[in-house]
Structure 1
Amino acid sequence: MKKISLLLLALALSVVACKQNKKDTEVVENEIIEVETNISKTLTVGLSPKSDSNVSGSVVFTEENGTVNMVASITGAEPGVHAIHIHASSDCSSPDGTSTGGHWNPTAQPHGKWGAETGYHKGDIGNFTADENGNATVEFSTDAWCIGCDDDTKNIIGKGIIVHAGVDDFTTQPTGDAGGRVSCAGIIE
Protein backbone atom coordinates (compact mmCIF):
# COMPACT_ATOMS: atom_id res chain seq x y z
CA MET A 1 0.00 0.00 0.00
CA LYS A 2 2.85 2.33 0.84
CA LYS A 3 4.44 1.62 -2.53
CA ILE A 4 1.25 2.53 -4.40
CA SER A 5 0.82 5.73 -2.35
CA LEU A 6 4.44 6.75 -3.01
CA LEU A 7 4.04 5.92 -6.69
CA LEU A 8 0.85 7.99 -6.92
CA LEU A 9 2.56 10.86 -5.08
CA ALA A 10 5.55 10.75 -7.44
CA LEU A 11 3.24 10.65 -10.45
CA ALA A 12 1.23 13.61 -9.12
CA LEU A 13 4.42 15.63 -8.53
CA SER A 14 5.69 14.94 -12.05
CA VAL A 15 2.35 16.07 -13.54
CA VAL A 16 2.52 19.29 -11.48
CA ALA A 17 6.15 19.81 -12.57
CA CYS A 18 5.19 19.28 -16.21
CA LYS A 19 2.34 21.77 -15.90
CA GLN A 20 4.69 24.26 -14.25
CA ASN A 21 7.21 23.87 -17.09
CA LYS A 22 4.43 24.31 -19.62
CA LYS A 23 3.34 27.55 -17.92
CA ASP A 24 6.92 28.86 -17.99
CA THR A 25 7.10 28.04 -21.69
CA GLU A 26 3.82 29.82 -22.35
CA VAL A 27 5.01 32.96 -20.55
CA VAL A 28 8.19 33.04 -22.60
CA GLU A 29 6.23 32.49 -25.83
CA ASN A 30 3.94 35.45 -25.00
CA GLU A 31 6.75 37.76 -23.95
CA ILE A 32 6.96 40.91 -26.05
CA ILE A 33 10.42 41.90 -27.13
CA GLU A 34 10.86 45.50 -28.29
CA VAL A 35 13.35 45.95 -31.05
CA GLU A 36 14.63 49.45 -31.81
CA THR A 37 14.67 50.12 -35.51
CA ASN A 38 16.80 52.80 -37.06
CA ILE A 39 15.00 54.04 -40.15
CA SER A 40 16.82 56.66 -42.16
CA LYS A 41 15.08 58.85 -44.73
CA THR A 42 16.88 61.04 -47.26
CA LEU A 43 15.37 63.59 -49.62
CA THR A 44 17.32 65.75 -52.09
CA VAL A 45 15.77 68.81 -53.76
CA GLY A 46 17.21 71.17 -56.36
CA LEU A 47 17.39 74.94 -55.88
CA SER A 48 16.35 76.94 -58.97
CA PRO A 49 17.20 80.60 -59.65
CA LYS A 50 14.46 83.18 -59.02
CA SER A 51 14.19 86.97 -59.48
CA ASP A 52 16.65 86.94 -62.41
CA SER A 53 19.47 85.59 -60.20
CA ASN A 54 21.98 82.81 -60.86
CA VAL A 55 21.54 81.19 -57.43
CA SER A 56 21.12 77.43 -57.63
CA GLY A 57 22.23 74.31 -55.81
CA SER A 58 20.77 71.43 -53.87
CA VAL A 59 19.45 70.72 -50.41
CA VAL A 60 19.71 67.28 -48.80
CA PHE A 61 17.45 66.44 -45.86
CA THR A 62 18.26 63.30 -43.87
CA GLU A 63 16.17 62.08 -40.97
CA GLU A 64 17.71 59.64 -38.55
CA ASN A 65 16.82 58.83 -34.94
CA GLY A 66 14.23 61.63 -34.82
CA THR A 67 16.57 64.37 -36.05
CA VAL A 68 16.52 65.99 -39.47
CA ASN A 69 19.85 67.17 -40.83
CA MET A 70 19.84 69.68 -43.69
CA VAL A 71 22.83 70.39 -45.92
CA ALA A 72 22.33 73.07 -48.55
CA SER A 73 25.00 73.53 -51.23
CA ILE A 74 24.54 76.93 -52.87
CA THR A 75 26.25 78.44 -55.93
CA GLY A 76 25.89 81.72 -57.80
CA ALA A 77 25.01 83.91 -54.81
CA GLU A 78 26.36 87.41 -54.34
CA PRO A 79 29.31 87.26 -51.93
CA GLY A 80 28.22 88.04 -48.39
CA VAL A 81 25.46 87.18 -45.94
CA HIS A 82 22.05 85.83 -47.01
CA ALA A 83 19.03 84.35 -45.28
CA ILE A 84 17.59 80.90 -45.88
CA HIS A 85 14.10 79.88 -44.74
CA ILE A 86 11.50 77.18 -45.16
CA HIS A 87 8.28 78.65 -46.58
CA ALA A 88 4.68 77.44 -46.35
CA SER A 89 4.32 76.00 -49.87
CA SER A 90 6.41 73.92 -52.26
CA ASP A 91 5.10 75.96 -55.24
CA CYS A 92 8.15 77.56 -56.88
CA SER A 93 6.27 78.48 -60.08
CA SER A 94 6.38 82.27 -59.79
CA PRO A 95 9.42 84.10 -61.26
CA ASP A 96 10.12 85.80 -57.92
CA GLY A 97 9.45 82.77 -55.66
CA THR A 98 6.53 84.43 -53.87
CA SER A 99 4.30 81.48 -54.77
CA THR A 100 5.82 79.67 -51.76
CA GLY A 101 3.94 82.01 -49.41
CA GLY A 102 5.29 83.21 -46.09
CA HIS A 103 7.62 81.46 -43.70
CA TRP A 104 6.47 78.05 -42.50
CA ASN A 105 4.98 78.83 -39.10
CA PRO A 106 2.65 75.99 -37.98
CA THR A 107 2.81 77.00 -34.30
CA ALA A 108 1.90 80.71 -34.90
CA GLN A 109 5.05 82.15 -33.35
CA PRO A 110 6.65 85.53 -34.09
CA HIS A 111 9.59 85.59 -36.51
CA GLY A 112 12.96 85.34 -34.80
CA LYS A 113 16.27 83.59 -34.48
CA TRP A 114 16.01 79.79 -34.17
CA GLY A 115 15.78 78.88 -30.49
CA ALA A 116 14.98 82.41 -29.25
CA GLU A 117 12.88 82.59 -26.08
CA THR A 118 10.68 85.23 -27.75
CA GLY A 119 9.70 82.70 -30.43
CA TYR A 120 10.58 81.77 -33.98
CA HIS A 121 9.01 80.14 -37.01
CA LYS A 122 9.75 76.47 -37.73
CA GLY A 123 11.10 77.80 -41.04
CA ASP A 124 13.48 80.38 -39.52
CA ILE A 125 16.76 78.65 -40.36
CA GLY A 126 18.89 81.81 -40.29
CA ASN A 127 21.78 83.33 -42.23
CA PHE A 128 24.80 81.98 -44.11
CA THR A 129 27.79 83.57 -45.82
CA ALA A 130 28.58 83.06 -49.50
CA ASP A 131 32.29 83.22 -50.31
CA GLU A 132 33.93 85.49 -52.92
CA ASN A 133 32.86 83.01 -55.63
CA GLY A 134 29.22 82.97 -54.48
CA ASN A 135 29.41 79.47 -52.98
CA ALA A 136 28.16 78.39 -49.58
CA THR A 137 27.26 75.33 -47.58
CA VAL A 138 24.56 75.57 -44.92
CA GLU A 139 24.23 72.85 -42.31
CA PHE A 140 21.31 72.70 -39.89
CA SER A 141 19.94 69.99 -37.56
CA THR A 142 16.76 69.81 -35.52
CA ASP A 143 14.34 67.40 -33.93
CA ALA A 144 11.53 69.92 -34.61
CA TRP A 145 11.20 68.71 -38.23
CA CYS A 146 10.37 65.35 -39.79
CA ILE A 147 10.22 63.98 -43.34
CA GLY A 148 6.72 62.73 -44.10
CA CYS A 149 5.44 62.10 -40.56
CA ASP A 150 1.82 62.63 -39.48
CA ASP A 151 2.61 65.69 -37.33
CA ASP A 152 1.69 68.84 -39.31
CA THR A 153 3.77 70.98 -36.94
CA LYS A 154 6.92 69.03 -37.89
CA ASN A 155 6.43 67.64 -41.41
CA ILE A 156 8.53 69.54 -44.00
CA ILE A 157 7.02 67.73 -47.01
CA GLY A 158 5.01 70.16 -49.13
CA LYS A 159 7.01 73.18 -47.98
CA GLY A 160 9.50 75.28 -49.96
CA ILE A 161 13.05 76.33 -49.21
CA ILE A 162 14.01 79.88 -50.16
CA VAL A 163 17.40 81.60 -50.39
CA HIS A 164 16.99 85.35 -49.90
CA ALA A 165 18.98 88.23 -51.40
CA GLY A 166 19.48 89.88 -48.01
CA VAL A 167 20.20 89.24 -44.36
CA ASP A 168 17.62 88.11 -41.80
CA ASP A 169 17.62 90.72 -39.00
CA PHE A 170 15.64 88.29 -36.76
CA THR A 171 13.31 91.08 -35.56
CA THR A 172 11.28 92.53 -38.46
CA GLN A 173 7.88 90.81 -38.56
CA PRO A 174 7.03 88.51 -40.19
CA THR A 175 10.01 88.13 -42.57
CA GLY A 176 13.19 89.36 -40.90
CA ASP A 177 13.52 91.91 -43.76
CA ALA A 178 15.56 89.31 -45.69
CA GLY A 179 14.88 90.80 -49.11
CA GLY A 180 13.90 89.20 -52.40
CA ARG A 181 13.82 85.49 -53.09
CA VAL A 182 16.75 84.48 -55.29
CA SER A 183 16.40 80.68 -55.25
CA CYS A 184 13.64 78.17 -54.56
CA ALA A 185 13.14 74.43 -54.09
CA GLY A 186 9.93 72.56 -53.36
CA ILE A 187 10.36 69.98 -50.62
CA ILE A 188 8.48 67.15 -52.27
CA GLU A 189 8.99 63.39 -52.41
Structure 2
Amino acid sequence: MFITTLVFTIALTACASDKDINPQHLEEAIPVTSHTPIYVNMLNTEGVKVGNATLTETTEGVKIHLEAKGLEPGTKAIHIHETGKCEAPDFKSAGAHYNPGHRQHGFHNPKGFHAGDLPNIEVTDKGKINVEITAPNVTLKQGEKNTLLDEDGSAIVIHTQADDYKSDPAGNAGDRIICGVISEK
Protein backbone atom coordinates (compact mmCIF):
# COMPACT_ATOMS: atom_id res chain seq x y z
CA MET A 1 0.00 0.00 0.00
CA PHE A 2 2.80 2.42 0.91
CA ILE A 3 4.63 1.77 -2.37
CA THR A 4 1.40 2.28 -4.37
CA THR A 5 0.77 5.61 -2.59
CA LEU A 6 4.36 6.70 -3.16
CA VAL A 7 4.24 5.84 -6.89
CA PHE A 8 0.91 7.69 -7.24
CA THR A 9 2.32 10.79 -5.48
CA ILE A 10 5.42 10.80 -7.69
CA ALA A 11 3.26 10.41 -10.81
CA LEU A 12 1.05 13.34 -9.82
CA THR A 13 4.08 15.50 -9.09
CA ALA A 14 5.64 14.62 -12.45
CA CYS A 15 2.43 15.56 -14.26
CA ALA A 16 2.43 19.09 -12.87
CA SER A 17 3.86 21.62 -15.29
CA ASP A 18 5.56 24.93 -14.63
CA LYS A 19 2.36 26.58 -15.87
CA ASP A 20 0.51 25.15 -12.89
CA ILE A 21 2.78 26.90 -10.40
CA ASN A 22 2.50 30.66 -10.08
CA PRO A 23 5.37 32.03 -7.94
CA GLN A 24 3.31 35.12 -7.11
CA HIS A 25 0.60 32.95 -5.55
CA LEU A 26 3.20 30.99 -3.61
CA GLU A 27 4.48 34.22 -2.03
CA GLU A 28 0.96 35.25 -1.11
CA ALA A 29 0.23 31.85 0.39
CA ILE A 30 3.25 31.86 2.71
CA PRO A 31 2.52 34.29 5.56
CA VAL A 32 5.28 35.85 7.62
CA THR A 33 5.24 34.07 10.95
CA SER A 34 6.63 35.00 14.30
CA HIS A 35 9.44 32.53 13.62
CA THR A 36 10.63 34.36 10.51
CA PRO A 37 13.92 36.10 11.35
CA ILE A 38 14.15 39.86 10.91
CA TYR A 39 17.43 41.07 9.40
CA VAL A 40 18.71 44.50 10.43
CA ASN A 41 21.50 46.51 8.80
CA MET A 42 23.54 48.33 11.44
CA LEU A 43 24.76 51.77 10.30
CA ASN A 44 27.38 54.11 11.78
CA THR A 45 27.03 57.90 12.15
CA GLU A 46 28.16 58.33 8.52
CA GLY A 47 25.36 56.06 7.28
CA VAL A 48 27.78 53.25 6.40
CA LYS A 49 26.84 49.63 7.14
CA VAL A 50 29.18 48.25 9.82
CA GLY A 51 27.30 45.10 10.76
CA ASN A 52 24.01 43.33 11.06
CA ALA A 53 21.60 41.91 13.56
CA THR A 54 19.26 38.97 13.22
CA LEU A 55 16.16 38.98 15.42
CA THR A 56 14.27 35.76 16.06
CA GLU A 57 11.17 35.10 18.16
CA THR A 58 11.77 32.46 20.86
CA THR A 59 9.81 31.24 23.87
CA GLU A 60 12.12 33.39 26.06
CA GLY A 61 11.61 36.59 24.02
CA VAL A 62 13.37 38.06 20.99
CA LYS A 63 16.87 36.71 20.41
CA ILE A 64 19.23 39.27 18.88
CA HIS A 65 22.42 38.05 17.23
CA LEU A 66 24.58 41.12 16.59
CA GLU A 67 27.79 41.33 14.59
CA ALA A 68 29.58 44.60 13.86
CA LYS A 69 33.06 46.00 13.32
CA GLY A 70 34.84 49.33 13.30
CA LEU A 71 33.81 50.42 16.81
CA GLU A 72 35.93 51.82 19.61
CA PRO A 73 36.84 49.02 22.04
CA GLY A 74 35.13 48.89 25.43
CA THR A 75 31.79 48.38 27.09
CA LYS A 76 28.82 49.89 25.23
CA ALA A 77 25.14 50.32 25.97
CA ILE A 78 22.65 48.81 23.57
CA HIS A 79 18.92 49.50 23.61
CA ILE A 80 15.83 48.98 21.53
CA HIS A 81 14.36 52.37 20.61
CA GLU A 82 10.73 53.20 19.90
CA THR A 83 10.88 54.32 16.24
CA GLY A 84 12.20 52.51 13.18
CA LYS A 85 14.24 55.42 11.83
CA CYS A 86 18.02 55.74 11.76
CA GLU A 87 18.91 59.15 10.36
CA ALA A 88 22.63 59.87 10.67
CA PRO A 89 24.59 61.40 12.23
CA ASP A 90 22.88 61.41 15.66
CA PHE A 91 20.08 58.82 15.24
CA LYS A 92 17.69 60.92 17.35
CA SER A 93 15.08 59.92 14.77
CA ALA A 94 14.93 56.53 16.59
CA GLY A 95 13.20 58.30 19.49
CA ALA A 96 13.41 57.24 23.12
CA HIS A 97 13.89 53.72 24.45
CA TYR A 98 11.12 51.28 23.64
CA ASN A 99 8.96 51.67 26.74
CA PRO A 100 5.32 50.65 26.27
CA GLY A 101 4.98 50.09 30.04
CA HIS A 102 5.87 53.75 30.77
CA ARG A 103 8.56 52.85 33.31
CA GLN A 104 11.82 54.52 34.17
CA HIS A 105 15.15 53.32 32.81
CA GLY A 106 17.51 50.73 34.17
CA PHE A 107 17.71 47.22 35.53
CA HIS A 108 18.75 48.66 38.95
CA ASN A 109 16.12 51.40 39.01
CA PRO A 110 13.29 50.56 41.45
CA LYS A 111 10.86 52.26 39.03
CA GLY A 112 12.39 50.65 35.92
CA PHE A 113 13.01 49.12 33.52
CA HIS A 114 12.14 49.79 29.88
CA ALA A 115 11.16 46.84 27.68
CA GLY A 116 13.96 48.02 25.36
CA ASP A 117 16.68 47.99 28.01
CA LEU A 118 19.37 45.42 27.20
CA PRO A 119 22.57 44.32 28.94
CA ASN A 120 25.79 46.12 27.98
CA ILE A 121 27.93 44.61 25.25
CA GLU A 122 31.71 44.37 25.00
CA VAL A 123 33.57 45.57 21.89
CA THR A 124 36.87 43.70 21.45
CA ASP A 125 40.29 45.31 21.15
CA LYS A 126 39.91 44.85 17.39
CA GLY A 127 36.67 46.89 17.39
CA LYS A 128 34.36 43.94 16.81
CA ILE A 129 31.14 42.67 18.37
CA ASN A 130 29.69 39.19 17.99
CA VAL A 131 27.06 38.70 20.69
CA GLU A 132 23.71 37.12 21.30
CA ILE A 133 21.22 38.84 23.60
CA THR A 134 17.66 37.90 24.48
CA ALA A 135 15.13 40.69 25.02
CA PRO A 136 12.54 38.95 27.22
CA ASN A 137 9.93 41.72 27.33
CA VAL A 138 9.30 42.21 23.60
CA THR A 139 7.92 40.21 20.68
CA LEU A 140 8.02 40.12 16.88
CA LYS A 141 4.38 39.00 16.74
CA GLN A 142 2.36 41.73 15.07
CA GLY A 143 -0.66 43.00 16.92
CA GLU A 144 0.53 41.68 20.28
CA LYS A 145 1.48 43.68 23.34
CA ASN A 146 5.12 44.90 23.24
CA THR A 147 5.59 44.13 19.55
CA LEU A 148 8.62 45.66 17.89
CA LEU A 149 6.77 45.51 14.57
CA ASP A 150 4.14 48.18 15.20
CA GLU A 151 3.19 50.87 12.66
CA ASP A 152 6.48 52.79 12.91
CA GLY A 153 8.81 49.86 13.68
CA SER A 154 11.63 50.16 16.18
CA ALA A 155 15.44 50.36 16.17
CA ILE A 156 18.52 48.85 17.78
CA VAL A 157 20.93 51.54 18.98
CA ILE A 158 24.48 51.24 20.33
CA HIS A 159 25.87 54.11 22.44
CA THR A 160 29.40 55.40 23.10
CA GLN A 161 29.47 54.36 26.76
CA ALA A 162 28.20 51.66 29.10
CA ASP A 163 24.69 51.84 30.54
CA ASP A 164 24.79 52.44 34.32
CA TYR A 165 21.46 50.53 34.60
CA LYS A 166 19.86 53.17 36.84
CA SER A 167 19.92 56.72 35.43
CA ASP A 168 16.69 57.79 33.77
CA PRO A 169 16.06 58.18 30.85
CA ALA A 170 19.04 56.47 29.15
CA GLY A 171 21.57 55.19 31.69
CA ASN A 172 24.17 57.89 30.98
CA ALA A 173 25.07 55.88 27.90
CA GLY A 174 26.32 58.79 25.80
CA ASP A 175 25.83 59.49 22.13
CA ARG A 176 24.19 57.10 19.69
CA ILE A 177 26.87 55.69 17.38
CA ILE A 178 25.27 52.69 15.61
CA CYS A 179 21.64 52.24 14.58
CA GLY A 180 19.55 49.63 12.77
CA VAL A 181 15.88 49.71 11.77
CA ILE A 182 13.71 46.79 12.92
CA SER A 183 10.90 46.23 10.42
CA GLU A 184 9.47 43.52 8.19
CA LYS A 185 10.57 45.28 5.02
Band of TM-score, shorter chain: 0.7 to 0.9
Inter-partner Cα distance in structure 1 for 2:70 and 2:183:
23
Structure 1 stretches of 4+ with a deviation exceeding 6 A read none
Report the 3-state secondary structure (helix = DSSP H, G, I; strand = E; otherwise coil) of the residue aligned with 1:126. coil
CA shift at 1:177, angstroms?
0.7
What is aligned with 1:75? 69
Letter paired with 1:154: N
Matched residues, percent identical? Answer: 30
Matched, 1:147 2:140: yes
Contact kept in structure 2, 1:161 and 1:184, CA below 8 Å: yes
Unaligned runs of 5+ in 2: 1-32
What is aligned with 1:123? 116
What is aligned with 1:34? none
Inter-partner Cα distance in structure 2 for 1:168 and 1:44:
25
Inter-partner Cα distance in structure 2 for 1:187 and 1:39:
14
Inter-partner Cα distance in structure 2 for 1:172 and 1:142:
20
Unaligned runs of 5+ in 1: 1-37
CA shift at 1:47, angstroms?
0.2
**What does 1:21-32 align with in structure 2 at a 5 Å threshold?**
none
CA shift at 1:100, angstroms?
0.5
CA shift at 1:171, angstroms?
1.5
**What does 1:5-84 align with in structure 2 at a 5 Å threshold?**
40-50=35-45, 52=46, 56-65=50-59, 67-84=61-78
Inter-partner Cα distance in structure 2 for 1:143 and 1:182:
24
TM-score (norm 2): 0.73
Return the index of the structure with the highest Cα Rg: 1
Aligned length: 149
Q: CA RMSD in A?
A: 2.3
TM-score (norm 1): 0.71
Matched, 1:183 2:147: no
Matched, 1:156 2:151: no
Deviation track 1:88-133 (CA, whole Å, cap 9, x = no partner) reads 101112421111011110001110128x764210110121111111
Report the 3-state secondary structure (helix = DSSP H, G, I; strand = E; otherwise coil) of the residue aligned with 1:161. strand
Deviation track 1:28-51 (CA, whole Å, cap 9, x = no partner) reads xxxxxxxxxx9622111110011x
Contact kept in structure 1, 2:47 and 2:88, CA below 8 Å: no
Report the 3-state secondary structure (helix = DSSP H, G, I; strand = E; otherwise coil) of the residue aligned with 2:125. coil
Inter-partner Cα distance in structure 1 for 2:82 and 2:173:
16
What is aligned with 2:80? 86
Deviates more, 1:52-61 or 1:179-188: 52-61
Deviation track 1:14-68 (CA, whole Å, cap 9, x = no partner) reads xxxxxxxxxxxxxxxxxxxxxxxx9622111110011x59782111011134632
